[in-house]
Amino acid sequence: MSQATIGQMFHSAGAVETFLGFPRCDDLERLDAAVAILGAPVATPYRSVGAYCAGAPGAIRAAMAGYAASRGHMDFDLLAAPFAAASVADCGDLPWDAEDFAANRERITDAVRKVLKAGAVPVVLGGDDSIPIPLFRAFEGGGPYTVVQIDAHIDWRDEVDGEHHGLSSPMRRASEMPWIERIVQVGARAIGSARPGDYEVARAWGVEFVTGRELARQGVQTVLELVPPGAKVLLTLDCDGMDPTVMPAVIGPAPGGLSYWQVVELIHGLAERATIAGFDIVEFMPAADRDGLAALTAARVVCNVLGALVKG
């Protein structure tokens, strides 16, 4: 095979700015697609660390740019070729303000509400783990919903340094939303921001935990059985929930995380058992990536979510 042919297969779409070359939608009021990809670079970063994931949506898109010309080819994760005619639109990145975090949150909530009003499923590219809070708020009036979180940390702090909407608090804030009736948290391990009291509050609320150690012993099916058949699921993936051997580009890596295939099996298992009503991927840190491999892993996770949605 000639070098030119290889280039046509893998690199001819390097300038493509949308995820996998999907059509772009610049006006959410005119969205006409079953699935809407939306970049949310920043919501409520802690001032001590800043917006270290702001470049993640662009890096995730860039990881798949070279495959845009091959979008109609077989995807062997899916054992199908669902993307050529898939009803998917990339709605670009939301603007953000380095000082006005409340405005960032409102923009995210408003944008996702427009996606839902159009009848589309939002697939949100973060951004740090404060993104799920305004994302979940957009689902008010629907549901009830089951949140399935993949994360090395449980995110049940009420506040950190006075901030109630930061990356250590999304599950605590989710628990306060009446339209969320169930929370399943997968992959917790090592040491993070949670104190014993935070864990006790989560357990008292009714969270179903499957720790990283338990998942290693019991498998993905254990998680799926905690999700009621037919449930509406909001799936949120913190990249540090994955093992650092496949996802090293995070601020809080911990050994013993989910493998790529465990995440893939969980995605498709949820799509078969329930309805994925929304998805976000957060906490990918481009500055810590090497040769774009973590960006590629994140992008392939997104491909599996898209595949599960359009096949379903």
User: In terms of C-beta density within 10 A (0-12 exposed, 13-18 middle, 19 or more buried), how is residue 278 classed?
Assistant: buried
Query: CA nearest 170: which of 99, 260, 241?
Result: 241
Query: CA nearest 151: which of 52, 235, 233, 54?
Result: 235
Query: Is the pLDDT assigned to residue 161 strictly greater than 70?
Result: yes
Q: Give the per-residue pLDDT at 312.
A: 64
Residue 195 burial (CB count, 10 A): 11
Query: Is the pLDDT assigned to residue 86 strictly greater than 80?
Result: yes
Amino acid at 175: S
CATH number among 3.40.800.10, 3.40.640.10, 3.90.550.10, 3.30.1490.100, domain 3-311: 3.40.800.10
Query: Is the pLDDT assigned to residue 106 strictly greater than 50?
Result: yes
Give per-residue pLDDT as tens, 185-221.
Answer: 999 999 999 999 999 999 999 999 999 999 999 999 9
Tokens representing residue 181 in the block: 């009736």
Amino acid at 137: R
Q: Which residue has the tokens 């702090």?
A: 157
| C-alpha distances in Å from residue 155, one per residue of 114, 143, 152, 206, 261 | 27, 22, 9, 15, 24
Query: Is the pLDDT assigned to residue 270 strictly greater than 70?
Result: yes
Domain ranges of the chain: 3-311
| Distance between CA atoms of residues 148 and 153, nearest Å | 13
